[in-house]
């Protein structure tokens, strides 16, 4: 099938043919001895240190070309920033033969091409730290033009490409032309590394658990289903790794954690993507009070690591991560935001309240789902500063230990920040008889039409029968946490490659 090419793409292919005819390999062997990066050069170069920059090798993508005839000013972008090359014809072609300069530099180069250069660093008359180029090598010919953006003298973009369809689908181009995008993902990596360091210092053990599971357990969610050909049985992409981590606690590990890639076959919006990353950890001989304290410590540490302060700007708000965080029960939170005390209501009364407030309600929704609907629609969005919503009704939490002093409740919290749930934690249920009864209640909900009710995992019940010590566990949404701490409005902005509808191709 033929490929439709734009005029610019045809011109670039013609240039490639001219280069090949002149014996220039536009895609040479990959080894190129880069010695310095743009930011490092600019940060360290002075008149006093210039001897250390007398022989420099750099490489990067061409972002601008200024043709002055026998002199070219070319700005290249590497992984750390932008630096200017001063390319003089007689310098890179000292002999009488100027073919290389004319063929490559003057006629062959385009924005987006990747080149390498050697030379020495100096400061131009305009005060710009630049590389006086002595050799220049074409490393990759770009056949597709980059979107045009405007940059100031320092290379900062002030007319960025903002079309989300382009940015999310062609993230590779987005990263090239929008420098702030790369900064977001560098912060994401720093966030994950900080969490890992924090947990490792506490003595936690990082582990791996299955992504393909015979039983999609550990959460109330609709799974993706596939087929295992070798075993000839259906398998599911995991919706959570909770039950496997608890098996490890049964096996004798005191503290395990995993950055888990999870999959839920549900809706997509600014805060939901079908594929997402969750940190879960489980610690033996701890409860949800201890978990609140260590979660506060972690979030304060993350704010300091990424911003140097506990006050973080998110949109038009300033959120304080200074410990301690507010704590309020879910019933009190609903009452605080609606004026209605639902703590003693049964299922039909809750359904009537949802009806009065014009909230979703149907026969498949049990008491837990109705309370969740009330809280989610009327209370959750109002908790901007970090707040622990605690002490949930047992119907909402089939994997959670019953409250030690409050009948009908469980020892659970969710951490709300900027109106969204960032973490969910329990004193874990370790009574195998109680756990079996809760699973059977979930099965009844499934039979009523609730397609997010939990499956029964009989092997997990067997593990509990061997005995799981008192344990506390937590799940933290890494993507939402990254959104918060990088001030991004959409989950797609913190995922390199968010899910999108397949593109209609021209081929």
The residues facing 387 across adjacent strands are 326, 416
CA distances from 427 to 117, 286, 289, 408, 495 (A): 60, 8, 9, 15, 31
pLDDT band at 348 (very low <50, low <70, confident <90, very high): very high
For every residue of 111-154, which 3-state class applies, written as one string?
A: CCCEEEEEEEEEECCCCCEEEEEEEEEEEECCCCCCCCCCECCC
272-289 pLDDT, tens per residue? 999 999 999 999 999 999
pLDDT band at 45 (very low <50, low <70, confident <90, very high): very high
CA distance 134 to 121: 11
Q: Are 42 and 129 in contact (CB under 8 A)?
A: yes
User: Is residue 373 marked as binding?
Assistant: no
387-439 pLDDT, tens per residue? 999 999 988 887 789 999 999 899 999 999 999 999 999 999 999 999 999 88
- Identify the pLDDT of residue 361: 85
Give just the sign of the alpha carbon dihedral 263, 264, 266, 267.
negative
319-331 pLDDT, tens per residue? 999 999 999 999 9
pLDDT band at 251 (very low <50, low <70, confident <90, very high): very high
- Identify the pLDDT of residue 398: 78
For helices 367-378 and 330-338, the axis angle rounded to 10 degrees is 50
Q: Are 282 and 473 in contact (CB under 8 A)?
A: yes
CA atoms within 13 A on the CB side of 362: 6
CA distance 23 to 105: 14
Among 419, 416, 375, smallest CA distance to 395 is for 375
The residues facing 506 across adjacent strands are none
154-199 pLDDT, tens per residue? 556 555 678 888 999 999 999 999 989 999 999 999 999 999 999 9
CA distance 462 to 329: 33
In the chain, what's the furthest Cα-to-Cα distance? 94
Among 130, 132, 105, smallest CA distance to 24 is for 105
Q: Are 233 and 246 in contact (CB under 8 A)?
A: no
pLDDT band at 124 (very low <50, low <70, confident <90, very high): very high
Neighbouring CB atoms inside 10 A of 227's CB total 9
207-250 pLDDT, tens per residue? 999 999 998 888 878 999 999 999 999 999 999 999 999 999 99
CA distance 23 to 169: 36
Residue 1 scores a pLDDT above 50: no
Cβ neighbourhood burial of 490 (10 Å; 0-12, 13-18, 19+):
middle
- Identify the pLDDT of residue 53: 98
- Identify the pLDDT of residue 199: 98
The helix (run of H) or strand (run of E) holding residue 474 is strand 471-477
The helix (run of H) or strand (run of E) holding residue 73 is strand 71-78
Q: Are 284 and 257 in contact (CB under 8 A)?
A: no
13-43 pLDDT, tens per residue? 999 999 999 999 999 999 999 999 999 999 9
* Its pTM surpasses 0.75: yes
Residue 264 scores a pLDDT above 50: yes
- Identify the pLDDT of residue 239: 95
- The size of the chain, in residues, is 507
- Give all domains of the chain, ordered by start, each with its CATH number: 7-146 (2.40.50.140), 181-209+238-325+385-494 (3.30.930.10)
Cβ neighbourhood burial of 89 (10 Å; 0-12, 13-18, 19+):
middle
pLDDT band at 150 (very low <50, low <70, confident <90, very high): low
- The separation between CA 276 and the C-alpha centre of its own chain, rounded to angstroms, equals 8
CA distances from 418 to 235, 335, 489 (A): 36, 20, 11
User: Is residue 503 marked as binding?
Assistant: no
187-208 pLDDT, tens per residue? 999 999 999 999 999 999 999 9
Residues of the chain with pLDDT > 90, as a percent, come to 81
């Amino acid at each position: 099938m033929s490929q439709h090419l734009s005029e610019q793409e045809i011109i670039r292919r013609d240039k490639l043919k001219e280069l090949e005819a002149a014996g220039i390999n536009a895609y040479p062997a990959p080894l190129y001895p880069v010695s310095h990066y743009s930011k490092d050069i600019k940060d360290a170069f002075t008149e006093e240190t210039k001897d250390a920059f007398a022989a420099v090798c750099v490489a990067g993508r061409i972002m601008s070309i200024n043709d002055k005839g026998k002199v070219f000013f070319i700005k290249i972008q590497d992984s750390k920033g932008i630096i200017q090359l001063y390319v003089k014809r007689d310098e890179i072609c000292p002999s009488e033969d100027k073919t290389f300069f004319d063929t490559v530099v003057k006629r062959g180069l385009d924005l987006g091409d990747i080149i390498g250069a050697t030379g020495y660093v100096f400061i131009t008359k305009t005060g710009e730290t630049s590389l006086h180029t002595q050799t220049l090598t074409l490393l990759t010919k770009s056949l597709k033009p980059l979107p045009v953006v405007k940059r100031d003298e320092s290379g900062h973009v002030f007319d960025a490409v903002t079309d989300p369809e382009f940015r999310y689908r062609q993230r590779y181009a987005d990263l090239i032309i929008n420098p702030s995008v790369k900064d977001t993902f560098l912060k994401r990596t720093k966030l994950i590394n900080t969490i890992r360091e924090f947990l490792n210092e506490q003595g936690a053990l990082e582990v791996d658990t299955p992504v393909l599971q015979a039983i999609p357990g550990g959460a109330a969610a609709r799974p993706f289903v596939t087929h295992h050909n070798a075993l000839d049985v259906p398998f599911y992409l995991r919706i959570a790794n909770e039950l496997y981590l608890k098996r490890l606690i049964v096996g004798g590990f005191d503290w395990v954690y995993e950055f888990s890639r999870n999959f839920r076959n549900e809706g997509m919006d600014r805060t939901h993507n079908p594929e997402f990353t969750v940190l879960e950890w489980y610690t033996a001989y701890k409860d949800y009070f201890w978990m609140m304290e260590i979660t506060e410590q972690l979030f304060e540490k993350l704010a300091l690591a990424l911003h140097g302060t506990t006050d973080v700007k998110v949109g038009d708000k300033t959120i304080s991560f200074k410990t301690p965080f507010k704590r309020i029960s879910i019933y009190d939170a609903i009452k605080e935001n609606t004026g209605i005390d639902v703590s003693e209501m049964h299922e039909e009364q809750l359904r009537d309240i949802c009806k009065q407030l014009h909230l979703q309600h149907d026969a498949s929704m049990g008491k837990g789902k109705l309370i969740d609907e009330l809280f989610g629609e009327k209370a959750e969005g109002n908790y901007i500063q970090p707040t622990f919503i605690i002490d949930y009704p047992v119907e909402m939490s089939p994997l959670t230990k019953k409250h030690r002093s409050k009948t009908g409740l469980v020892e659970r919290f969710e951490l709300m920040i900027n109106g969204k749930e960032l973490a969910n934690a329990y004193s874990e249920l370790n009574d195998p008889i109680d756990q079996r009864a809760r699973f059977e209640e979930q099965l009844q909900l499934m039979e009523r039409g609730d397609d997010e009710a939990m499956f029964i995992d009989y092997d997990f019940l067997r593990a509990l029968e061997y005995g799981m010590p008192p344990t506390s566990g937590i799940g933290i949404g890494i993507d939402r946490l990254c959104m918060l701490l990088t001030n991004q409005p959409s989950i797609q902005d913190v995922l390199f490659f968010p899910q999108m509808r397949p593109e209609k191709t021209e081929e």
